Structure 1
């Protein structure tokens, strides 16, 4: 089948379109990658071409050798993915050593995959291992309220998580492990990739201070849902603070009751 008619392309486009409408992707902000199963690559093989040039990833990911990824392009606008995916998205293949990538479809008017590719692939490699291959999405966006909170909340996992958990009863059900916080770093380099990967060993959501949010998921709905849930919690937090701050809140005992009732593995280390 034509790759543009594939179910995975439909899911990829839907996420980018919905996220742009949310206001998370000004100009060329944000990026999305999907690790494509071999069966899905096979189903669109007639749309693909041979790798014309192998280019360095920027780090080494041997655990992803031979894998294919659908990725947004560097400098491309999320709002244009739906209109012309072949111009704004690429399907890439990782070489047998996990050191280089090659384009096999897309970016027909030129360009390269997202500048955050080293960070995405490092985290894909980690999550592939930790989830026995179930995790397939890495997603980065610039949600407004979340970024605003990085200027006023302490930049540590415990206090940031606790503040957002308190904003809505179901938040700790959606991300019971909490979230990690990376201090400001230059985007796209090995340093932020390493810092994010370290936190992704225990979280599915990582805050990039004064920059945005970085999440993973088994599928498009899970990744989008995580981003949406955290940003809504941040929006509530911004509104509460603008109204003079909390007068009452969800207590530690309330969280423990919630965890028991919903049978969730709540990270209680973040409650004390």
Structure 2
């Protein structure tokens, strides 16, 4: 089997291109990571090299010890992933302490994994524990309409969740746990990684104010679909607010409760407040 015929590799490349096509990855914006399964490692290991030196992660992730991740590269462009994935992406291995990594495939022309690696790995650790290992994807993208809303809505979990739920009936079904919001912070550092990982204990989506969204899921399709749904809802809200500050009608709390019952999802009452 050719390396590029392996399913997780094809899925990773496709998701990078899907994000670029949506306009969420200008220049070198955004990043994606995927935690390999044992089957993935078995299929890909013949292509791994083992001669790179260990480097500091910048965070401690002991629950990810000896795990492998496919990750986009720092300063690399999503639009180039489909053309030269070996230049724009890499596979890394976390050491037995969970504090260092080394590149075992990719970035053939030099470079390092995404500058958001601490955020990615800290959140992989959180989601691995919270989902008993089911979640494998972490995705950060610059969703235009979500970013726009961070300038006009209160940076509050309840407000963002309720407003986006109201924009399309499918939203509370797709992200029933709601959405968390992180105030503006310098990207790529330890502080934003910690703040995001706290939110990801409760949510699958965190909005980074004036920056984009950070989301997680079990596979590429579900994670991309989650980001796509959130951004579509934000686009509708931006259009509504551009027409009028006051909605004539919307989905009411009891209607949300009926929806939850029929679709067998749990909606937290904190988001179903009366306006």
| Contact 1:2–1:47 (CA under 8 A) maintained in structure 2 | no
1:248 aligns with 2:249: yes
- After the TM superposition, which segments of 4 or more aligned residues of structure 1 sit over 6 Å from their partners? none
Deviation (angstroms), 1:3: 2.2
Structure 2 residue aligned with 1:224: 224
Give runs of aligned pairs for residues 168-247 of structure 1, distance below 5 A.
168-245=168-245, 246-247=247-248
Gaps of 5+ in 2: none
Write the distance in 2 (CA, Å) between the matches of 1:140 and 1:268.
28
1:135 aligns with 2:135: yes
Structure 1 residue aligned with 2:101: 101
* Local SS of the residue matching 2:93: strand
Q: What is the number of equivalent residue pairs in this alignment?
A: 272
Range moving further from structure 2, 84-93 or 45-54: 45-54
Write the distance in 2 (CA, Å) between the matches of 1:117 and 1:9.
19
Give runs of aligned pairs for residues 44-123 of structure 1, distance below 5 A.
44-123=44-123
Per-residue CA deviations over 1:77-124 (Å, capped at 9, x if unaligned) read 001000000000000000000000000000000000000000000000
Per-residue CA deviations over 1:148-177 (Å, capped at 9, x if unaligned) read 000000001001110000000110010011
Q: What TM-score does the superposition give when structure 2 sets the normalisation length? A: 0.98
Per-residue CA deviations over 1:204-253 (Å, capped at 9, x if unaligned) read 00000000000000000011001000000000000001111311111111
Give runs of aligned pairs for residues 152-163 of structure 1, distance below 5 A.
152-163=152-163
Deviation (angstroms), 1:6: 0.8
Write the distance in 2 (CA, Å) between the matches of 1:61 and 1:210.
28
Structure 1 residue aligned with 2:268: 267
| Contact 1:2–1:46 (CA under 8 A) maintained in structure 2 | no
Write the distance in 2 (CA, Å) between the matches of 1:268 and 1:22.
33
| Contact 1:119–1:190 (CA under 8 A) maintained in structure 2 | yes
* Local SS of the residue matching 2:69: strand
1:41 aligns with 2:41: yes
Q: What TM-score does the superposition give when structure 1 sets the normalisation length? A: 0.99
Per-residue CA deviations over 1:65-85 (Å, capped at 9, x if unaligned) read 000000000000001000000
Write the distance in 2 (CA, Å) between the matches of 1:268 and 1:215.
22
Write the distance in 1 (CA, Å) between the matches of 2:47 and 2:4.
9
* Local SS of the residue matching 2:71: strand
> Structure 1 residues 51, 98: CA separation in 2 closer, same or farther (over 3 Å shift)?
farther
Structure 1 residue aligned with 2:146: 146
* Local SS of the residue matching 2:207: strand
Deviation (angstroms), 1:12: 0.3
Deviation (angstroms), 1:52: 1.4
